[in-house]
Structure 1
Amino acid sequence: MPLRAHPRKNPLQCSTAKMFGNAGVRTAAVLVTVIAVASPSSAQNTAVQNPAAAHAAPRAGSTSEDTRSFASFLATVQEEVVAKEVAGPNVQAGMIDSDTIDLDPLERIDQQDEAGESLMLADVIASLYHSYPEIQQARELQAIAGGDLMSSYGYYDTKFEADSLSEPTGFYRNYRNGLGVARRTWWGGYLSAGYRIGRGYFQPWYKERQTDDAGEFKIGAVQPLLRGRAIDAERVAVFQASLQQQAAMPRVRQTILATSGEAIDVYWQWVSAGAILQAQQELLDLAVKRGEQYQVGVAAGKFAEIDLILNEQLIAERRASLLKAEQKFRAVAFKLGLYLRDETGQPMTPDRQWLPEQFPTISPQPPLDLSAELAAAITRRPEPELLHLEIRSTQLDRQLAHNDLLPNFDFISEASQDMGEPATYANDKGEFELVIGFHSEVPIQRRKARGKIQSTSAKIRQIDAKLRLTHNKIAVELQTQSNRLQLATEIVKETEIALEAALETLQRYQFAFNSGKIDLIYLNMLETKFNETEIRLIDAQREWFLALADLQLALALDPLDQAMMISELPESDIPGPGNLAKPPLPDAQQLDADWQRHRNTP
């Protein structure tokens, strides 16, 4: 099993975050056994309730003793069918043999106790947070930005300098050595301090290289007064690297929201695909059970072989539909394995036994307070935050361009003192020396700075327009997802009503089939229609949970917190595969009278 998510309270306060109450976490979830809508026992009971309606027109060439309805004959041969089921699987033409076709059908009730806990949405999202490579990749942005920030501070590192130069040949032989430290200051200046010594004979035009016997100590400083004082390219690089570090977490949140949306979509596809697979298995079971009864009836000479052949065709068609459902279920399970990972971070395809028995409970949700939720969503969504950081970064470039309009005007100072015995008779190096002054430079046209101001100003306006559009898109997204959720609730409700009506209709037509009033072709149409309605209800429930997830993601609520609340919901009582409660029907006499009225309706 994957890493289990542990319940915790949701720290985000929002109307949508309060949608769900607290309920116990469901356990032991494997889809339950299919139920036969028209089992042999139900047909037998119908015949018992209305013996008069259990008789049909005799077959051509049959004796009066053999004139019995399908339901009456089923009551006679029921014990044979049960005995054959107990003896072992019936491997006949048109029937599924588990040894021949490995469909790995949904586990039965007696195996559920060994299935363990079902796979909840919170388990998938917890595994996603812990091990999904795309999220791990996004988390590394923090380290990357931290490294870039440290690198940008490298411009202000203190530098140690040393040199040793010799001229051992020629007329002017001399030896010079020196060492010192230097660094750039935060305000655009430059500081240096060092010691040097020069001995030997020096060219008259290089007398500054000569020092007294103990050498010379020197300090120097350069400080910009206009351009480069308030801001320079190096400080802009530091500030922008800091902004990139601030942008790392919003990008992580953005990746989490995006990948969580993908994982949630695949999870509900997996749950619905499992439910559809069970629905197709139930539909196939109806034809298989009926085929067993037809086998006995044809062998006893009570039924025409054409009915058996038609039923075998239905078995093959429904088996093909089951195989398609199995194909889709396995494909979705493989895809879910990308997001569900084990303790080592490797993809893990979920086991079939981890399927939940039912969807969680669906309850109507109150409409959103759009203005309040929009303001809250804008503060939580990473997109506006990233755009604000991008604006600040561009503003730094524009501030630097404005500063570049100013001329270079630097204050320069240098002080030095020689030590030891004089190097010359004039002792021209023994006094303390001080140099101060200014240096100025400016490009006349200053086109580089003016062009940069123009481009950065336009880029800021561009990002600002993009930010306004992002706010508008968030508002539309909230409206769309809220409307989608509200209507999805109604769709589930109406589809549930349709399924209940389809089930009752199928039961009534089952009665008519057992009474010989309709043929197998008509009954197949009703069974197929019921199956389609059942699948539509499964899809409607999946769509509801997807709409809820998309609304939560639009509000930028923590996906794991929201998944925990979904996982704590009780199981839904909406009818579906493994949860079909047959509605009570009138007695056989009333059903027969109602059928006669139906047949007599023009």
Structure 2
Amino acid sequence: MIESDSMSFQQFLSVAHSEQAEPAAAPTTDPLAAPIPATNGSASTAAATNDDALVLADVIASVYRSYPEILQARQQAGLTSGELLSARGAYDVKLNAYSLAEPTGYYENYRNGLKLARQTWWGGYVEAGYRIGRGYYQPWYKERQTDDAGEFKTSLIQPLLQGRAIDPQRVAVFQASLARQAVGPTVQQTLLSVSLDATTNYWQWVAAGSALQAQQELLKLAEERGKQYEAGVEAGKFPEIDLILNQQLIAERATKVLETERKYRETAFKLGLFLRDDGGRPIVPDDQWIPQKFPAIQPPPPGDFQADLAAALSRRPEPQILQYQIRGIQLDRQLACNEMLPRLDFVAEASQDMGEPATKSDDKGEFELVIGFTSEVPIQRRKARGKVQSTTAKIAQTNQKLRFVRDKIGVELQTAYNALSLSGQIVEQSEASLRASIDTLGRYRFAFERGKIDLIYLNLLETKANETEIKLIEAQQNWFAALAQMQIALGLDPLEQAMTVSQLPPSDLPTSLDLQDNPSDQE
């Protein structure tokens, strides 16, 4: 556990390098908001040495705008809205109509009716309508007959126990509403995951480009030395074996350049999946877009782990998604508990015939009212008891999953901070090693030019310096990858963080190109 009284790491990410670069305008963090336009890479101070450099903010902005997985996640909003609308359809008003006739036989009659009905929010059912029946009816169907102007009728059924507090229709509406609320965290989860992949691929591309440049510089040294040897051999100053040995070095270094270029091209192709045009088509980054240096690195201060963890748990979408799932299961359990109750419904029905009496007895002219109760009691209730048992177990399972996710977020924070801290130290040691290697190379190159060491030994020193430079490049790549891991673990907005990183000044760490022309003046 990281313990310190200093600022939390999330505060460091917000204010880091504030003296070196202007703060970026905070973009919207709403995952459902309109796509954010790409930033202008030429404005980044991190790419000050290359006006056409592709910066991290350009890649992340492209991810927000055009990445298919993000667009797919955003479509979930329309899907859940449709499901919610469909669930509310259970309460639509229904229009029922019929027209029936018995034109032949002894009992000739004609019946017509029109009715409006809907289910109420509290589990009941209400309907109102008009019907008219004329002609001769069987004695056992006398209720079908109405007075001459027809009959108006309304009825109501209202549950008093089972189905009153909750019913399947309300559960469907509530669960659809929860699914709609979970869209935001779901989109955010996709954004964090994809942005981490995009950021990792970006730094791999930058590192591969820097490594390729270092290998090309090493090859260039051998090629320039080869021209000197050719002239020296013709003048009789150097033996021909030195020329042949240097040609071997050129071939070996050219092979290394090709291998490094292959890796560089692979990273460029992979980065093209995240870098897309307005039409959503992948763009393979041009060689001219690669930054010449990494941004400057500033080691973070010790963080307050508890504060960072609390902030991460409040931001990260995974706990929120699981909480919505628990609430949905709780609704199923509440419904199952309600179904354990006996069914007791209040029933009311009122009707009134209009017009001239249909019969001499005028038995349909009075206002009629029917009220009462109906009940049903499932004796064993195995369906409801089984549903209660299964939903209780599901809630317990999901609570354990939520607990594990929270623990996992804490481990991710500790792991990311540890990686970031140690990666910074590795960068420092790699820088010291490269400076010493370049200084050593300068001294031995001075000795080589005076014939005190041979070409084989000089080649070993140049190769060692090149390997040390590659290690420094990889150390910087690992540091920025660890920084991205920390930002994602904290649940920070990837585009906002990318804009902050993109505005950092270029690194002042040495390269062989910077120091190879400054050999020591000591023999």
Q: Which TM class, normalised by the smaller chain length?
A: over 0.9
- Residue 14 of structure 1 corresponds to 11
Q: Is 1:191 aligned with 2:126?
A: yes
2:443 and 2:465 map into 1 onto residues whose CA distance is 13
- Residue 295 of structure 1 corresponds to 230
Q: Select 1:120's aligned residue among 45, 52, 55.
A: 55
- Residue 430 of structure 1 corresponds to 365
Gapped regions of structure 1 (runs ≥ 5) = 1-11, 33-111, 592-602
Deviates more, 1:153-162 or 1:465-474: 465-474
Q: Is 1:539 aligned with 2:469?
A: no
- Residue 178 of structure 2 corresponds to 243
Shift of 1:582: 5.5
In 2, are the aligned partners of 1:224 and 1:408 still within 8 Å (CA)?
Answer: yes
Shift of 1:547: 0.5
- Residue 468 of structure 1 corresponds to 403
- Residue 359 of structure 1 corresponds to 294
Give the alignment's TM-score, normalised by structure 2. 0.92
Shift of 1:429: 0.6
Q: Select 1:318's aligned residue among 241, 253, 264.
A: 253
Specify the SS of the correspondent of 1:256: helix
Is the alpha carbon distance of 1:438 and 1:577 closer, same or farther for their aligned partners in structure 2, counting shifts above 3 Å? farther
| Amino acid in the other structure paired with 1:478 | L
1:478-522 deviation per Cα after TM superposition (whole angstroms, max 9, x unaligned): 111011111111000000000000001111111222222221111
Q: Is 1:157 aligned with 2:124?
A: no
Shift of 1:118: 1.1
Q: Select 1:209's aligned residue among 136, 144, 148.
A: 144
Shift of 1:394: 0.7
- Residue 37 of structure 2 corresponds to none
Specify the SS of the correspondent of 2:514: coil
The number of aligned residues is 497
- Residue 221 of structure 2 corresponds to 286
CA RMSD of aligned residues (A): 1.9
2:58 and 2:484 map into 1 onto residues whose CA distance is 15
Shift of 1:577: 5.3
Specify the SS of the correspondent of 1:199: strand
In 1, are the aligned partners of 2:45 and 2:502 still within 8 Å (CA)?
Answer: no
2:506 and 2:220 map into 1 onto residues whose CA distance is 25
- Residue 500 of structure 1 corresponds to 435
| Amino acid in the other structure paired with 1:439 | T
| Amino acid in the other structure paired with 2:13 | T
Specify the SS of the correspondent of 1:17: helix
Shift of 1:17: 2.6
1:317 and 1:479 map into 2 onto residues whose CA distance is 43
Q: Is 1:392 aligned with 2:327?
A: yes
Specify the SS of the correspondent of 1:166: strand
Specify the SS of the correspondent of 2:402: helix
| Amino acid in the other structure paired with 1:406 | L
Gapped regions of structure 2 (runs ≥ 5) = 1-8, 23-39
In 2, are the aligned partners of 1:281 and 1:322 still within 8 Å (CA)?
Answer: yes
1:533-582 deviation per Cα after TM superposition (whole angstroms, max 9, x unaligned): 00000000000000011000000000011011101110110012543376
- Residue 54 of structure 1 corresponds to none
In 2, are the aligned partners of 1:365 and 1:486 still within 8 Å (CA)?
Answer: yes
In 1, are the aligned partners of 2:45 and 2:506 still within 8 Å (CA)?
Answer: no
Q: Is 1:478 aligned with 2:413?
A: yes
Is the alpha carbon distance of 1:28 and 1:288 closer, same or farther for their aligned partners in structure 2, counting shifts above 3 Å? farther
Q: Select 1:375's aligned residue among 307, 310, 331.
A: 310
Shift of 1:287: 0.5
- Residue 585 of structure 1 corresponds to 520
| Amino acid in the other structure paired with 1:16 | L
| Amino acid in the other structure paired with 1:23 | A
Is the alpha carbon distance of 1:362 and 1:540 closer, same or farther for their aligned partners in structure 2, counting shifts above 3 Å? same
- Residue 60 of structure 1 corresponds to none
1:394-428 deviation per Cα after TM superposition (whole angstroms, max 9, x unaligned): 11011001000001100111100000000000111
Shift of 1:301: 2.2
Task: Summarize the alignment of residues 60-459 of structure 1 with structure 2, pairs less than 5 Å apart.
Answer: 116-459=51-394
In 2, are the aligned partners of 1:31 and 1:278 still within 8 Å (CA)?
Answer: no
Is the alpha carbon distance of 1:368 and 1:201 closer, same or farther for their aligned partners in structure 2, counting shifts above 3 Å? same
| Amino acid in the other structure paired with 2:481 | L
| Amino acid in the other structure paired with 1:324 | E
Shift of 1:19: 2.5
Is the alpha carbon distance of 1:23 and 1:146 closer, same or farther for their aligned partners in structure 2, counting shifts above 3 Å? same
| Amino acid in the other structure paired with 1:498 | S
Give the alignment's TM-score, normalised by structure 1. 0.80
Higher Rg of the two aligned structures: 1
- Residue 83 of structure 1 corresponds to none
Specify the SS of the correspondent of 2:447: helix
Is the alpha carbon distance of 1:15 and 1:504 closer, same or farther for their aligned partners in structure 2, counting shifts above 3 Å? closer
Shift of 1:20: 3.1
Shift of 1:306: 1.3
| Amino acid in the other structure paired with 1:373 | D
In 2, are the aligned partners of 1:275 and 1:577 still within 8 Å (CA)?
Answer: no
% same residue: 61
| Amino acid in the other structure paired with 2:12 | S
